[in-house]
Structure 1
Amino acid sequence: MIAYNPKEWFSFIFRFHKADTFRKLLPLMLAIGVYSLGVAYLELEYWKVSESSHVKNITVMHTLLGFVISLLLVFRTNTAYDRWWEGRKAWGALVNNSRNLAMKIAVMVKSDEDKEIFRKLIPAYSAVLNLHLKNVDVKHELFDNATLSDDHYKHKPNQIAKTIIAKINELYEQGKITGDQLIVLNAEMQSLTDICGICERIKNTPIPYSYSAFIKKFIFIYVMSLPFGYVFSLGYLVIPVVIVIFYVLASLELIAEEIEDPFGYDPNDLPTARLAEMMQKNVEELIY
């Protein structure tokens, strides 16, 4: 995730980073410029289309469809941002619940040996969940004397959660914690699995294909038809105008595509790896 100062204005205008849509769209913008130049030349110099031609009235279509495409893009970006923000809230809850679980374990459990196990297992859940959401193969060796089964389990976060629950239940059976304490700890453990389910729902359920494809086709047809009508009023100035319009519309779609899956490696995705490292430090401070 890109760290920046939201109060700076001019640095945003003149700074181009690798995630900037301008870099990604530059080849298409140049192609649109060449296309607009060709349309303008044909209408003004070769075909010499008069201003009384019905081609000039194509701008009426753009006026009518401009409002529609604006609504579609607003809905698209809002939907994508909702997914990004829901993922951030889920990981915020994971941070808080991991801290709460660590604090309760630190107070309820007296054995240093048992504490050491939870000191490693609790942050391991967030670290493995981060890799799980990025479709990375998780190493089976978590730490000394603790491994993940390669044969039985394919869902590694579930395996760690089960291991933690089994250890808590073992403490109860040994009389090291009471039944009331078991209930309290179980609520924290259930929240971890709920958070994992939320993140998987966001990752595995993209927006419908037909909706995404329609927006791209709509933008393409809208932009490609712009030079035909506006060349009469703008002349060759239609070239930069069409490029700017394409840049604005296509950038909104690119931004939505990037943030709708917030658990990848894109520059604007959630810093889940950093959050997992922070949770490890917090848990190690709480359980000692």
Structure 2
Amino acid sequence: MISYNTKDWFTFIFHFHKSDTVRKLFPIMIAIGIYSATVGYLEVEYFKISKNDYIHNIPIMHGMLGFVISLLLVFRTNTAYDRWWEGRKLWGSLVNSSRNLAIKLSAILKDENDRSFFRKYIPLYADILHKHLKDADTSKQLFEDVDLEIDHHKHKPNQLKRIMYHKINDLYDAKKISGEQLITINEELTAFTDICGACERIKNTPIPYSYSAFIKKFIFFYTMTLPFGYSVSLGYLVAPVVVFIFYVLASLELIAEEIEDPFGDDENDLPTKKISENIKKHIEELI
């Protein structure tokens, strides 16, 4: 995640980050500029179109469609940001559940071997979930002295949750945990699976294809028809005007595409690795 000062306006205006949409759109912006200048030249210099021709009334269509495309883009960006923010809330809940479980076990468990087990396995769940959501292979040995027998063709977070639950059940059978304490601990363990399932729902359910494709086509054809209506009024200035309009509309779509999957490797995605490292540090302090 990019760290920045939200109040530093001039930095935003004059600094171009590598995740800026200008860099991604620059080639197509150049192509649209050339296309717009060509259309302007043909209308003004070759066909000698005047303000009395019907083609000069095309901006009426753009005015009506501009309201529609603005509504679509607002809905698109809001939906994408909701997914990003929900992902952040889920990982915040994982932090709290990990801390609560560690606090309860630190008061309940007296044996150092049992405490050491959960000191390593509770933060391990966050680390494996981080790798699971990024579709990366999970190593069998994430810590120097922990060797997990994990089948990498199966659901990795579920396997780790099963290992922890079996350990909790063994402690209950050994009378190290009472029935009331088992119920209390079970609430935090259940939250782990709920969080994992919710993150998978965001990861595996993108915006419907037809909706995303329609917005892209709408932006393309809307932009491509702009030079025909504005060349008579703006002349060769139509090229930078159309390029700027395309930049604004396409940038909103690119931003929405980037943040709708908050568990990827983009610059603005959630720092799940950093969060999992913080969980490990906090758990080691508690147990």
The count of aligned residue pairs is: 286
Which residues in structure 2 correspond to 1:161-200 (within 5 Å)? 161-200=161-200
1:58 Cα deviation after fit? 0.6
1:141 Cα deviation after fit? 2.2
Change (3 A) 1:145 1:223: closer
Matching residue's letter, 1:119: R
62-71 or 50-59, which deviates more: 50-59
Matching residue's letter, 1:148: E
Separation in 1, partners of 2:117, 2:269 = 31
Separation in 2, partners of 1:147, 1:90 = 25
1:140 Cα deviation after fit? 1.6
- Report what 1:137 is aligned to: 137
Which residues in structure 2 correspond to 1:27-38 (within 5 Å)? 27-38=27-38
1:219 Cα deviation after fit? 0.2
Separation in 2, partners of 1:60, 1:265 = 42
Separation in 1, partners of 2:246, 2:146 = 57
Deviations 1:110-157, CA, capped at 9 Å, x for gaps: 100100000000000000000000000101224435313227x61111
1:215 Cα deviation after fit? 0.1
Separation in 2, partners of 1:217, 1:257 = 15
Deviations 1:168-204, CA, capped at 9 Å, x for gaps: 1110100001100000000100000000000000000
Contact 1:132 1:138 (C-alpha < 8 Å) held by counterparts = yes
1:277 Cα deviation after fit? 0.3
- Report what 1:121 is aligned to: 121
Deviations 1:223-282, CA, capped at 9 Å, x for gaps: 000010011111111111101100000000000000000000000000000000000000
CA RMSD of aligned residues (A): 0.9
Contact 1:140 1:150 (C-alpha < 8 Å) held by counterparts = no
Matching residue's letter, 2:6: P
SS in 2 for 1:35: helix
Separation in 1, partners of 2:268, 2:252 = 14
- Report what 1:81 is aligned to: 81
1:29 Cα deviation after fit? 0.7
- Report what 2:23 is aligned to: 23
Structure 1 moving runs of 4+ over 6 Å:
none
Separation in 1, partners of 2:91, 2:241 = 42
Matching residue's letter, 1:149: I
- Report what 1:253 is aligned to: 253
- Report what 2:100 is aligned to: 100
Matching residue's letter, 1:112: E
- Report what 2:244 is aligned to: 244
Matching residue's letter, 1:174: A
- Report what 2:147 is aligned to: 146
- Report what 1:47 is aligned to: 47
Separation in 1, partners of 2:284, 2:181 = 21
1:162 Cα deviation after fit? 0.7
Matching residue's letter, 1:65: L
Contact 1:148 1:156 (C-alpha < 8 Å) held by counterparts = no
Contact 1:21 1:251 (C-alpha < 8 Å) held by counterparts = yes
Separation in 1, partners of 2:206, 2:44 = 45
Matching residue's letter, 1:260: E
1:217 Cα deviation after fit? 0.1
Separation in 2, partners of 1:97, 1:145 = 22
Q: Under a length normalisation based on structure 1, what TM-score does the superposition of the two structures give? A: 0.98
1:12 Cα deviation after fit? 0.2
Contact 1:134 1:263 (C-alpha < 8 Å) held by counterparts = yes
Contact 1:19 1:267 (C-alpha < 8 Å) held by counterparts = yes
Separation in 2, partners of 1:142, 1:26 = 42
Change (3 A) 1:145 1:19: closer
161-170 or 210-219, which deviates more: 161-170
1:70 aligns with 2:45: no
Change (3 A) 1:145 1:95: closer
Q: Under a length normalisation based on structure 2, what TM-score does the superposition of the two structures give? A: 0.98
Unaligned residue ranges in structure 2 (runs of 5+): none
1:159 Cα deviation after fit? 0.7
SS in 1 for 2:36: helix
